[in-house]
């Protein structure tokens, strides 16, 4: 396999892996999130939150993937030819892409969990006022 083909293969594998990880996370929290928003937020905003979480997870993952540059003058590879010439650099960069995607996914999950915590607090306040 030539280095150019290797670059294409590792790049799209990294993107597929990142999107798969985000979709898996969205699937794992989907049911409990739907139940939570149904109880705490039985309005249209609850439905939009339910739809927004998977989109947010996939977008944050894609943001991490595209934030890692291949052509980097700081690492001594300012041209495409120099990037393609080094296979170990290609492997390391694709690893860095997936790592950045996973890191962004963690931030997004923690952000959504905080949002849900605020929602639960507001729900508890509402139910207390009613009783």
Partner 1 sequence: MDINSIAILATGVGVLALAAWVFLSVRASLVALIDQLVRLPAATAFFSRVFMLCLTLGAAEKILESRTELGPDANFMEGVWKVASGVGDGMETLLILLLAFLGMMTVLVAVLAGRRD
Residues of this chain that bind partner 1 (CB under 8 A)? 21, 25, 28-29, 31-33, 35-36, 39, 92, 95-96, 98-99, 102-103, 105-106, 109-110, 112-114, 116-117, 120-121, 124-125, 128
Q: Among residues 57 and 83, whose Cβ is nearest to partner 1?
A: 57
Least distance in angstroms from the C-beta of 96 to partner 1? 7
Identify whether the C-beta of residue 21 lies closer than 8 Å to the C-beta of residue 101. Answer: yes
Q: Among residues 5 and 128, whose Cβ is nearest to partner 1?
A: 128
Identify whether the C-beta of residue 3 lies closer than 8 Å to the C-beta of residue 85. Answer: yes
Alpha carbons within 13 A on the beta-carbon side of 130? 6
- The candidate with the shortest Cα–Cα distance to 61, out of 95, 92, 20, is 20
Q: Among residues 8 and 117, whose Cβ is nearest to partner 1?
A: 117
């Amino acid at each position: 396999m030539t280095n150019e083909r290797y670059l294409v293969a590792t790049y799209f594998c990294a993107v597929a892996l990142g999107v798969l990880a985000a979709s898996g996370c969205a699937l794992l929290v989907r049911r409990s999130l739907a139940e939570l928003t149904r109880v705490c937020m039985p309005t249209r905003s609850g439905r939009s939150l339910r739809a927004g979480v998977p989109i947010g997870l996939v977008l944050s993952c894609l943001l991490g993937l595209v934030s890692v540059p291949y052509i980097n003058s700081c690492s001594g590879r300012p041209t495409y030819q120099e990037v393609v010439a080094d296979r170990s650099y290609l492997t390391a960069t694709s690893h860095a892409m997936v790592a950045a995607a996973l890191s962004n996914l963690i931030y997004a999950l923690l952000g959504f969990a905080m949002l849900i915590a605020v929602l639960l607090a507001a729900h508890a306040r509402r139910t207390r006022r009613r009783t």
